[in-house]
Structure 1
C-alpha cells in the first residue's frame, strides 16, 4: 500500500487585523513569518476586521470578523440597533463554524486582554470570548500569542477577558505586567510565557546615519477606558502640548516627521500641520510597521506615543522618548534601558518634554549602544520562544534548533 501523506495543519489567524492599526498588522506579519519558516505546508486563513486588506497584503484567504458591517459605528436608529443585536447572535454561529475548520487558531499579539483605550464589552471582548469558547467546545486549540493584558475596572469587560483567557489552550504575553494582570484577574498563569513583543521578530532596517531629523509619533488620544468623562479635555491637552513641542523643534530648524500607527491618527496630524505651518514639518505615509521602522531608522531621535511606534523606534536602535499613555509603554522603555525617558500623555508639558528631549540627544551615543545590546537579547529570547511555541502548538513538527527571528532588512 502507498503510505498516505499526513494532511497539512490548518491554522487560523484571528483579530482586528487589516483594520488600519499598524501594530496589529505587524504582529500578524511576525506570525506569518514564523509559519512560513517553520510550517511552510500549513494552510492559513484569517477571521479579521479588514479581510480585503489582509488578503491583498499577505496573500491569505480572509473572512470578515463581524456579520454586521456597522459593528463599530454608533447605533442611534432602531434599525441599526436591531442589526447590531442580530449580528451578535449570527456571529456565534459564524465564529463556531470558522473555528471548527482549523487545528489551531492563533491570536497574534495585540492588546486583546487590556482596556487601556476606550472599549465596549460587546465589541472585541465579546468576539474574543466567542472564539475561545468555540475552540474549547470544538477541540480546536486557541493560542493567545504575545498578547497584552491589563487591569480592567469595567465588570462585564473584565469577565469576558478573564473567561477568554481561561478558555484558551495556550497563552503568552509581551511583558510581565500582562501576565501579572491576568494572574490578578484569577487566571492560572503558572505555565504562561513572557517574551518580547512579536514585532521585535520583524526585519531590522539599516540606519543611513545622522540626518538631524526627529520623528514624532502622534495618536488620536482621548485617555483610557475609565476617562470617558474627561476625554475631550485630555485630547485637547495632548494635542496642544504636542503641537507646542513640534513648533519648538521647527523653530530651531529641525526637520520633523509626523508618524501615526492607526488610521484615526490622521486627524491629529492634520491639526498639528495646520497649527505649526512649517515646511520643516511633514507627515509620513507609512502603511506598515516596516515602513515605520525605516522612518525611525532614518531619524536621529524619536518621540512617540503609540506603543508600536515605540517598538519600531527601539527595534531600529534609535534613541526614543515615550509620551506614555499606559503602563505597557513604561515597561517597554524600562526593558530596553530607556526608563528615564518617559513623559505622561495625559499631561503633555511642552517645556518639560523639550528638557527630556535635550537629555535624550545628549546621551544618544550611549543609548544606541544600549539598544543594540537589548535588541540582541530580544532576538535570542524570541528564538527560544518560537521553538517552545512549535512544541506547544505543533508537537509533531517541533524542531530541535532555535527558530531564527529578527533579520537585517535588505
Structure 2
C-alpha cells in the first residue's frame, strides 16, 4: 500500500466540549486548527458534553458523552439514582466502542486532572478513566494535550485521575504547577512537557470600537473549590459583594464597565451585579466564544477577571490585566506573562485593596503592554513546538 493510498487518520476529541464553558471550547478550536493545518486528511469526530453545539459550531460529528442525560444534576429520587448507576455501566461500553473506531483520541486542554472547582469522582474523572483505560486495552493512543492538573485531596478522585494519566500515551501540561501536581501523585512526568495554554494558539481578533476608558470585569459563579463545600455560600457572598463594590466604584468614576463570563452558570452573577450597581455604564457582554471574548478584552483599557480563560483572553490581546485568582493556575499564568504582581484572592475580595491594585495596574499600562507583547511572541513559539511534539508522538505526518 502506498503512502497516498493509506486510509486517513481517525482522530477523536474528548471532553466537556460544547457544554457552555468557553475555555474548553477554545482549547478544542485550537486543536482543530492544528489538525486541519498539519493533518488535513484526518477524519475527526467528538465524544463530548454538548454534541449539538460542537457539530453546529465546528462542523464535526459528535456523540453525547454520557448515556444518562441527567448526569450532572443532583440525584434526589430513586429513579435518578438508578439512572446514574446504570449510566456508569452503559458508558463503559459506549466509551470503549467509540474509542476503538479511532487511531488517536485527543483531550484538548481543560483542567481534566484537577479538582479546583466542585467535582464528584464518578462524574468526569470516571469518564476520563474509561477513555484512557479503553485506549490502553484497544490500542488507541490517548493524548492529554496542554491539560491542567492540581493536587487532589479526595482519595477516589485522586485515584481515578492518577490512573488516567498513567494510561495515556502522551501528556503535556499548560503550566509547571500541573506537571508537579502529577509528579506528586506518583506519575512519571520525566518525558512530559509544559507549554502555554492552547488558547494562545488562537488568532487574535481586531478590537472593535468601544467607549474610551472601558474596563472589562470577568465574573464567575464562584463558590470555592472541591475542598470548600462546607463554606461555599460564605465564599460566594464575599466574592459577589467585593466584586460588586469594585464595579460600583468604577461606575461612580464614570468608567464604562463590561461584564464578561466564561460559562452559562455565570449569568446569575452578572444579573446580580447589574441590579445592585444600577448604572447604565455597567453592561453585560453577549460573547459566546473565546474569539468574541478576546475582541472585548482587546477593546478595553484594562481587565479584571476571575475565570482562567478570561485571563487568557485578556493577556493574549496584550491588555493590562488583574487576576481575581481562585486557584494556583491563575497565579502561574500571571507569573508566566510577567504580571504576577497583579493578583488578588477571589475567596477574600477586598474592594478597597482591589481598587488600589487596579490603579497601580493602570499607572503602568504602557510598560505592561510591552511585556505582554514579548510574552505572547514566546507563547506562540512554544505552542508551535507543542504541536510538532504531538505529531511526532501520536500523529505521524500524512501525505497531502
Residue 211 of structure 1, CA deviation: 2.4
> Does the CA-based 8 Å contact 1:387-1:398 persist in structure 2?
no
Other structure's SS at 1:226 match: helix
Q: For residue 200 of structure 1, what is the aligned residue in structure 2?
A: 200
What RMSD, in angstroms, separates the aligned Cα atoms of the two structures? 1.4
> Does the CA-based 8 Å contact 1:174-1:196 persist in structure 2?
yes
Other structure's SS at 2:227 match: coil
**Quick one: distance in 2 between partners of 1:297 and 1:164?**
38
Q: For residues 162-212 of structure 1, give each alpha carbon's deviation from its aligned partner in whole angstroms, at most 9, with x where no partner exists.
A: 000000000000000000000000000000010000000000123468821
**Quick one: distance in 1 between partners of 2:2 and 2:116?**
56
Residue 4 of structure 1, CA deviation: 7.3
Q: For residue 352 of structure 1, what is the aligned residue in structure 2?
A: 353
Q: For residue 222 of structure 1, what is the aligned residue in structure 2?
A: 223
**Quick one: distance in 2 between partners of 1:163 and 1:348?**
36
Q: For residue 184 of structure 1, what is the aligned residue in structure 2?
A: 184
Residue 387 of structure 1, CA deviation: 1.0
**Quick one: distance in 1 between partners of 2:245 and 2:3?**
70
Q: For residue 126 of structure 1, what is the aligned residue in structure 2?
A: 126
**Quick one: distance in 1 between partners of 2:4 and 2:329?**
48
Residue 65 of structure 1, CA deviation: 0.2
Q: For residues 346-398 of structure 1, give each alpha carbon's deviation from its aligned partner in whole angstroms, at most 9, with x where no partner exists.
A: 00000000000000000000000000000000011111111111111122449
**Quick one: distance in 2 between partners of 1:160 and 1:70?**
22
Q: For residue 253 of structure 2, what is the aligned residue in structure 1?
A: 252
5+ long unaligned stretches in structure 2? none
Q: For residue 58 of structure 1, what is the aligned residue in structure 2?
A: 58
**Quick one: distance in 2 between partners of 1:4 and 1:309?**
43
**Quick one: distance in 2 between partners of 1:33 and 1:295?**
22
Matched, 1:143 2:131: no
1:359-398 to structure 2, matched below 5 A, reads 359-397=360-398
**Quick one: distance in 2 between partners of 1:51 and 1:92?**
18
Q: For residue 77 of structure 1, what is the aligned residue in structure 2?
A: 77
Q: For residues 118-163 of structure 1, give each alpha carbon's deviation from its aligned partner in whole angstroms, at most 9, with x where no partner exists.
A: 0000000000000000000000000000000000000000000000
Q: For residue 86 of structure 2, what is the aligned residue in structure 1?
A: 86
Residue 294 of structure 1, CA deviation: 0.2
Length, aligned pairs only: 399
**Quick one: distance in 2 between partners of 1:173 and 1:14?**
16
Q: For residues 291-349 of structure 1, give each alpha carbon's deviation from its aligned partner in whole angstroms, at most 9, with x where no partner exists.
A: 00000000000000000000000000000000000000000000000000000000000
Other structure's SS at 2:280 match: coil
Q: For residue 167 of structure 1, what is the aligned residue in structure 2?
A: 167
* TM-score normalised by the chain length of structure 1: 0.96
> Does the CA-based 8 Å contact 2:220-2:307 persist in structure 1?
yes
> Does the CA-based 8 Å contact 2:10-2:43 persist in structure 1?
yes
**Quick one: distance in 1 between partners of 2:3 and 2:397?**
17
Q: For residue 269 of structure 2, what is the aligned residue in structure 1?
A: 268
**Quick one: distance in 2 between partners of 1:74 and 1:261?**
23
**Quick one: distance in 2 between partners of 1:254 and 1:31?**
37
CA 1:253–1:204 in 2, change beyond 3 Å: closer, same or farther?
same
Matched, 1:238 2:229: no
